[in-house]
Amino acid sequence: MASAAAVLSGARPWNQEFSHADRERWVCIYPLYINSKKTLAEGRRVPLTKGVDNPLYSEIRDVCAAAGLTLGVENKVHPREMDSRDTKSRGRIRVQLKNEDGSPVNDKFPTRQSILLYLGETIPKLKGRQQQASSAAQAGQQSGGAASASSGGGKKKKGKRN
């Protein structure tokens, strides 16, 4: 049964003869690895200050593709994700880190950690992230201004109790 699952997903059974260029040897990146809302025990692999709030696999894919990395997307969920049916936590990105001879594909990314840190600093700069942040800030200002204007300036008096 396990071999049937491996055939359906496109993965081959592990073999020591696989070279670094084979897809099975590529580095796996889950959104959980750079999620600043998760703890280290829950699976985060970067420092809290270098993480991103709830990253999506599509953002990771876009940043890796823009950096010129060879990648593949798989519909997988990290085992530590609480709700495996949640589509926001789905997605695994495989990135080719090394050539067949073991040398890095891109000198800018010699290790898995270097890719994760690059993702942590680049994803917040994406246009979609910046638009979400600015629209949330504007909505907060509008609702905050309306609340302060309608409050009438002080504590409400409850009346005299007998």
Mapping DSSP to helix (H, G, I), strand (E, B) and coil, where does residue 27 land?
strand
CB 78 within 8 A of CB 91: no
Residue 159 domain-assigned (yes or no): no
Q: What is the CATH number for 90?
A: 3.30.56.30
Residue 9 lies in a domain: no
Which among 60, 55, 63 is positioned nearest to 38, based on CA atoms?
55
Q: Is residue 154 part of a domain?
A: no
In a domain, 151, yes or no: no
Specify the pLDDT at position 38: 93
Cα 67 to the center of its chain, rounded Å: 16
Range of the domain at 70: 25-127
pLDDT at 14: 67
pLDDT score, position 24? 79
**Sites in the chain below the pLDDT cut of 70:** 1-11, 14, 16, 143-156, 162
Give residue 87's pLDDT. Answer: 79
- Whether residue 33 lies inside any domain: the answer is yes
Instruction: List Cβ neighbours of 11 (8 Å cut-off, separation of 6 or more).
Output: 23, 24
Q: Per residue in 119-151, pLDDT tens?
A: 999 999 998 888 887 887 777 777 655 555 555
For residue 38, tell me if it sits in a domain: yes
Domain count, the chain: 1
Instruction: Pick the closest to residue 14 from 1, 4, 26, 25 (CA basis).
Output: 25
Please provide the distance, in angstroms rounded to a whole number, between the alpha carbons at the two ends of the chain: 78
In a domain, 4, yes or no: no
In a domain, 145, yes or no: no
